[in-house]
């Protein structure tokens, strides 16, 4: 179990690369294999320039259709102001687990109850009807267990897949990611599919006020306690980011122009590089991971960063080192040779070894059934993990620095959620180090751990939507009253 960083972590000095091979081994051969993972600041700045072009292309009316980074408008214009109150349901679908939550808000006070339900593999790869019937069944079980039958509560739905929103409560799935391939969902409104599944049951009622992405949830969750939060970042199974953009820059905006004249943009930046923009930094290992994925050629940036792929990149490097006789005496194991068997959690565990006892690393070798290994092997494997996770942290940092420079706000809190950020021992510090190096002068930032953004955040979006609706009704009543008074006079 790893230490979870506090909401705002103190920045520790950046790690310095030390020679991990104190004993005489073929260090040159090893470094030749892993060197492609070491990128220069010029590489990262080149990446940022290209990414900014992609962002602007996605925001442009004439260029959005051909843009790989779609920059979806979320229709979320306001962040919590601390006055939200009431009971709300939240749904969270973003991976193999589905959650239903009951969230009670009273100003800054938040109470949550939740239950996790598994999404079986056959449903992930089945039909959309099966998926949403399963979701409806989970909602029924939760409402029954929490004595909510017969009640209709406002609901927020975190649906963490690329969607084109056509309203706060309407979102069309553009393409599946993260191992899902349910037929009949792409190109359809997921809220409509949810309501149809609920209607098929006929025994529960929900009022979905908002559908959001997990990045928006992370942002909203942190904004509830810090109103300078303007970026949401996910670093887990996948990676994505959202940020607050001025309406004047959103050429496809078709909503109201009331204050505030801003909207949260869901970048869907995982698709950055799908047009070849990242080919100059891709390694042979990245290409192999992409080739054997369920969506070759897509989500290129995500595949170089996120937890779904990092362990496999490490495994491929270790297999090559083993074939060249540079680790394990040239003898690995069947497990090490099996695609997907080196889990990303191993990277965090191996890098958590702080001394030369290599307790975690040796346990990983045991899990992989590698009987013969030396301390040199431990150091080499730790070095490989370090280089690959550092590249991932720096790539994500370049994206955040690009957004911060684009927004040009003097002080921004960045909400971050996801298992990779939470559990990797150095990810936070590496990101602070690299973002600081890549930022324009005069911009301050801090990384905040988002606490249950995909659950709490969904409820907060629904709560804010509910508050805004009530405020507009009050304003309309007031305006009607003023008109009546004027006519009487």
Write out the DSSP string of 292-309. TSSSTTSSHHHHTTSHHH
d(CA 1, CA 105): 31
Instruction: Please give the pLDDT value at position 190.
Output: 95
The CA-CA-CA angle for residues 135, 136, 142, to 5°, reads: 90
Give residue for tokens 């800054």.
108
Per the CB < 8 A criterion, the answer to whether 99 and 156 are in contact is no
Question: What's phi and psi for 392, nearest 5 deg?
Answer: -60, -45
From the options 3.40.50.2000, 3.50.50.60, 3.40.367.20, 3.30.390.50, give the CATH code of 27-69+272-448.
3.40.367.20
Domain segments of the chain as ranges: 27-69+272-448, 83-225+454-474
DSSP track, 210-250: EEE-HHHHHHHHHHTT-TTEEEEEEESSSEEEEEEEEGGG-
Contacts of 422 (CB under 8 A, 6+ apart): 2, 4, 5, 449
Instruction: Please give the pLDDT value at position 484.
Output: 62
Residues 110-132 as b/e (b if ≥16 CB within 10 A, e otherwise) read beeeeeebebeeebbbbebbbbb
Beta-strand relationship, 444-449 and 154-159: unpaired
Instruction: Please give the pLDDT value at position 487.
Output: 60
d(CA 194, CA 187): 14
Catalytic residue among 70, 178, 434, 456: 178
From the options 1.10.8.60, 3.40.50.150, 3.30.420.40, 3.30.870.10, give the CATH code of 83-225+454-474.
3.30.420.40
Determine whether 189 is an active site residue: no
**Chain segment 403-433, per-residue pLDDT in tens:** 999 999 999 999 999 999 999 999 999 999 9
Catalytic residue among 169, 214, 274, 286: 214
Instruction: Please give the pLDDT value at position 356.
Output: 75
Q: Which residues of the chain have pLDDT under 70?
A: 1-24, 481-489
Instruction: Please give the pLDDT value at position 160.
Output: 83
pTM of the prediction?
A: 0.85
Percentage of the residues of the chain whose pLDDT score is greater than 90: 72
Per the CB < 8 A criterion, the answer to whether 427 and 393 are in contact is yes
**Chain segment 363-419, per-residue pLDDT in tens:** 999 999 998 899 999 999 999 999 999 999 999 999 999 999 999 999 999 999 999
Determine whether 429 is an active site residue: no
d(CA 153, CA 175): 30
Beta-strand relationship, 262-266 and 239-246: antiparallel
């Amino acid at each position: 179990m790893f230490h979870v960083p506090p909401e705002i972590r103190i920045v520790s000095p950046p790690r310095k690369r030390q020679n991990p091979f104190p004993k005489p081994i073929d260090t040159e051969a090893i470094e030749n294999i892993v060197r492609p993972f070491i990128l220069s600041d010029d590489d990262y700045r080149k990446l940022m320039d290209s990414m900014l072009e992609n962002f602007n292309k996605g925001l442009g009316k004439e260029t959005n259709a051909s843009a790989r980074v779609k920059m979806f408008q979320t229709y979320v214009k306001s962040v919590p102001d601390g006055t939200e109150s009431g009971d709300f349901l939240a749904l969270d679908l973003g991976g193999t687990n589905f959650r239903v939550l009951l969230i009670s808000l009273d100003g800054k006070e938040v109470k949550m109850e939740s239950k996790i339900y598994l999404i079986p593999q056959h449903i992930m790869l089945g039909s959309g009807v099966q998926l949403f019937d399963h979701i409806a069944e989970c909602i029924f079980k939760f409402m029954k267990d929490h004595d909510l039958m017969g009640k209709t509560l406002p609901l927020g739905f975190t649906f963490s897949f690329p969607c084109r929103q056509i309203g706060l409560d309407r979102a069309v799935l553009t393409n599946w990611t993260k191992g899902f391939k349910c037929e009949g969902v792409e190109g359809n409104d997921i809220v409509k599919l949810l309501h149809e599944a609920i209607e098929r049951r006929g025994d529960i009622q929900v009022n979905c006020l908002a559908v959001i992405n997990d990045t928006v949830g992370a942002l909203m969750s942190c904004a509830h306690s810090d109103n300078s939060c303007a970026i949401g970042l996910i670093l887990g199974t996948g990676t994505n980011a959202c940020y607050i953009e001025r309406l004047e820059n959103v050429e496809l905006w078709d909503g109201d122009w009331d204050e505030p004249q801003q909207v949260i943009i869901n970048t869907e930046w995982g698709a950055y590089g799908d047009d070849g923009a990242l080919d100059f930094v891709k390694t042979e290992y990245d290409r192999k991971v992409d080739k054997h994925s369920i969506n070759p050629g897509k989500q290129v940036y995500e595949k170089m960063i996120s937890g779904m792929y990092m362990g496999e990149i490490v495994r491929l490097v270790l297999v090559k080192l083993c074939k060249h006789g540079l680790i394990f005496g040239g003898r690995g194991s069947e497990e090490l040779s099996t695609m997907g068997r080196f889990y990303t959690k191993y990277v965090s565990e191996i890098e958590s070894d702080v001394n030369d006892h290599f307790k975690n690393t040796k346990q990983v070798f045991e899990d992989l059934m590698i009987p013969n290994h030396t301390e040199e092997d431990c150091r080499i494997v730790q070095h490989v993990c370090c280089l690959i996770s550092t590249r991932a942290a720096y790539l994500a940092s370049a994206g955040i620095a690009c957004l911060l420079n684009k927004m040009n706000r003097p002080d921004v809190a960045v909400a971050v959620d996801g298992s990779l950020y939470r559990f990797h021992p150095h990810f936070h510090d590496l990101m602070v180090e690299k973002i600081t190096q890549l930022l324009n002068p005069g911009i301050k930032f801090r990384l905040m751990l988002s606490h249950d953004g995909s659950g709490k955040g969904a409820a907060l979006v629904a709560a804010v939507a509910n508050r805004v609706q009530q405020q507009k009704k009050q304003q309309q009543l007031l305006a009607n009253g003023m008109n009546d008074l004027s006519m009487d006079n």
